[in-house]
Amino acid sequence: IASGGMAERFNFRAYCLYAFFNSLLYALAAGWVWRETGFLAVLGAVDIAGAGPVHMLGGVCSFAAATFLGPRIGRFDNGHHHPPMGNTVIAFLGLFILWWAWLAFNTASSYGLSRGRWGFTIRAAVMTMLGSMGGGVLACAFSIFDNKGKAYPFQIMNGVLASLVSVTGGCYLYDSWSAVLTGAIGSLLCLLCMKLMDKFKIDDPLYACTVHGVGGAWGLISIGLFAVDPISQPTTGGRSGLFLGGGFDLLKSQMAEAGTILVWGLLTTWTLLWIINQFVRVKLTPEEEALGADYVEHEVDHARNALEEMKPLWSREVELSDGLQYRLSSSVASARDLSSGMYKGNINAAFTDGNGVPFGASAKNDQTQVNCGVN
């Protein structure tokens, strides 16, 4: 989840270090919630399948990473519109795989099937489906309204995922109506926060912080509002949600978990990335980012041209006269444009051959296209 906010501009070796240490930080947070003596468990926090330690923490880490790294080159040069999806069909296939996996994820976190407890497992599956239905319908309606009659797949997919995240923490504690409502509200909050992210120019390519962070936080709060006390099991300690006559006790426990996860995720991620950056550069250089992290780190070519056709471009040296100016104001369209040998946008560059002899051009103009070696 946390890798979503780092996509397309994070150094692979630095990410390996981050992933290793972040897994240890996750384990501490999980212990606070699920260990009997964990301080959040002692406070009465309820989290069945990981809305807090898994989803919210991952989303908060994604947000912290996105703010630490800054936006991708050219991400907000042409406004707030998200770049076109690479492959909508594959993205929807991934959504369907996740939807089915969520059923296993939530049902496996219940009490099992023995000794009459199978009812909680079935309830978890049904409420997961109802929650995603509410989120999907809301996301479709929101997208059509927001885009003047057009339903954008990216918004719909994220809305559905956010609704699944929202019902994860209390999957078998909801009634049918509250599961639909929880999923719908989670979807709406996610889509609204996506627009806020764009407004403040925080570049999370997958919007993991809104899908998982916002969805997870709302999921925790919704337990304190809508949870039904499963009388035969000690899940909520005999408490119901606020709107079911249970008072504020459960809601306060849920808010304590959400606040703890928020602070823990922000502080640890910023600190960990800063420390790693002292030893391994965490962000790709502008030219590496323009070529694409997959190609630079792994020589995986996603462009139409073959890898051999990209090598002449890769072998040429690009010298930036003002790195800060480039980062703040320049725009490189995409790796596909670069594979055709064209830089587009506001750029100040000098190109040299292997002997250091200039063979290209220098330009700084929004309308200029600099040919960078297609021969």
What pLDDT, on a 0 to 100 scale, did the predictor assign at position 312?
46
Q: What is the DSSP letter of 71?
A: P
The CATH number of domain 2-277 is 1.10.10.10: no
- Among the listed residues 51, 87, 88, 62, the one whose alpha carbon sits nearest the alpha carbon of residue 208: 62
pTM above 0.85, yes or no: no
Q: Which DSSP helix (H) or strand (E) runs through 32?
A: helix 12-34
Residue with tokens 């006390």, as numbered in its chain:
229
pLDDT tens by residue, 70-105: 998 888 887 777 777 778 899 999 999 999 999 999
Q: Where are the domains of the chain?
A: 2-277, 286-371
Number of C-beta neighbours around residue 226 at 10 A: 22
pLDDT score of 329 more than 70: no
What pLDDT, on a 0 to 100 scale, did the predictor assign at position 114?
77
3-state secondary structure of 293: helix
Averaging pLDDT over each range in 56-70, 97-111, 233-247, which range is the top one? 56-70
Q: Are 133 and 125 in contact (CB under 8 A)?
A: no
**If pLDDT is split at 50, 70 and 90, which confidence band does 302 have?**
low
Long-range CB pairs of 322-325 (<8 Å, 24+ gap) are 322/348, 323/286
What pLDDT, on a 0 to 100 scale, did the predictor assign at position 232?
73
**If pLDDT is split at 50, 70 and 90, which confidence band does 303 have?**
low
Tell me the C-alpha distance between 61 and 42, whole Å. Answer: 25
**If pLDDT is split at 50, 70 and 90, which confidence band does 287 have?**
confident
What pLDDT, on a 0 to 100 scale, did the predictor assign at position 54?
96
Tell me the C-alpha distance between 299 and 293, whole Å. Answer: 9
pLDDT tens by residue, 133-185: 999 999 999 999 999 899 999 999 999 999 999 999 999 999 999 999 999 99
Residue with tokens 């399948």, as numbered in its chain:
49
